[in-house]
Amino acid sequence: MKLLDRFLRYVTFDTQSDPRSETTPSTAGQIVMLQYLAQELREMGAAEVELHESYLTATIPASAGREDEPVIGFLAHVDTSPDASGAGVKPQINGDTISSDGTTLLGADDKAGVAEIMTATEILLAGGVKHGQVRLAFTTDEEIGRGVDGFDVEAFGADFAYTMDGEYLGELEYENFNAAEALITIIGKSAHPGDAKGKMVSALRIAIELDAMLPEDERPELVDGREGFYHLTRLVGTVEHAEMEYIIRDFDSTNFEIRKRALTEAVERVNKGEGMATMDIKDQYYNMYEVMVLCPHIIERAERAMRAVGVEPVIVPARGGTDGARLSYLGLPCPNLFTGGKNFHSLQEKASLTEMRKAVEVIVEICRA
């Protein structure tokens, strides 16, 4: 099957993840897609195709005489962001560009990566390229931070791996945010507004005051590069009860701790007044750079592969997270490579077919013994 045909097929699966779901994976559509991929891999001739509770793995056996090569892994996630609908995607093709009709996500994040790995798998299984053993994994719920929950790194058996989850041509990412999420619950007191003096305590007003205590210029829409931020992702409530959800991001581990402490102190300050707020804060993932600097050969291999197929590597920090960030700290060094997708998490999401084809070439070249 051609790369384009695969991608157009994959984006029709509704695999949007749900952060409020308590199931594994968070939505049933993700398992449906994994089952489809498992069948496709078996038909291609892949070995050890195993569907786990929340992810799929498979093996491309080593070429004859290449069994002693390092085992290389490639990963992509099948879920799409909760930020916009991924149901009923109607892909549009305009020359080299693939987009949705503007009412849904396209799903390039990360079905472009899925399609590229599957297409490279078909090429490698055809036998024209000598390579060591290659391990594949397709995960669920990456967009809500659960992508490698329960992932068995030891059983996966790769010496190192690459996630195919980047954007522009040539992107090679081995630095990412440290990340935390926080849920703040505020309890107020209701009263009739006509007789509220000295009685009413508005949870919504306290929420607004709390948010105003954070630095105004450290919000996602005002920062870039290696600058971190506080992001209020959700605020719902009434006079009596309000909930605020934040994500906290910073590349520097010291600044990361400072940001978490600043949010904690904001909660403490409102509690010194008339507020009654509690916070549950937890870390999500850490900057993979501290792991990757110990194994530069993995980066160098990707750089050589890109140049071999005519792509100039572009080293950029990932202003987000990938499954590779968590896997790196679980013992599987795992930088992130480009897919040709752009404008992720938005209705303007698109993908370049030319860049997707180059991503396939890079995967094959990384595997070449």
Find residue 139's DSSP bridge partners. Answer: 55, 77
pLDDT digits (tens, 9 = 90+) for 122-146: 999 999 999 999 999 999 999 998 9
Domain residue limits at 83: 3-176+287-367
Contacts of 209 (CB under 8 A, 6+ apart): 270
pLDDT digits (tens, 9 = 90+) for 254-299: 999 999 999 999 999 999 887 799 999 999 999 999 999 999 999 9
Beta carbons of 284 and 301 less than 8 angstroms apart = no
Q: Are residues 13 and 125 in the same domain?
A: yes
Last residue of a domain, one of 284, 315, 344: 284
Task: Give mean pLDDT, residues 151-171.
Answer: 97
- CA–CA distance, 114 with 134 (Å, rounded to integer): 15
Q: Give DSSP secondary structure letters for 169-225.
A: TTEEE--B-EEEEEEEEEE-B---GGG-TTT-B-HHHHHHHHHHTS-TT-SGGG--T
With vertex at residue 335, the alpha carbon angle to CA 330 and CA 337, rounded to the nearest 5 degrees, is 145
Q: Are residues 171 and 126 in the same domain?
A: yes
Residues serving a catalytic function are 79, 142
Q: Tell me, what CATH number does 192's domain have?
A: 3.30.70.360
- CA–CA distance, 253 with 246 (Å, rounded to integer): 18
Beta carbons of 158 and 72 less than 8 angstroms apart = yes
- CA–CA distance, 299 with 150 (Å, rounded to integer): 26
> What total number of domains does the chain contain?
2
Q: Are residues 337 and 359 in the same domain?
A: yes
Task: Give mean pLDDT, residues 204-225.
Answer: 95
Beta carbons of 142 and 322 less than 8 angstroms apart = yes
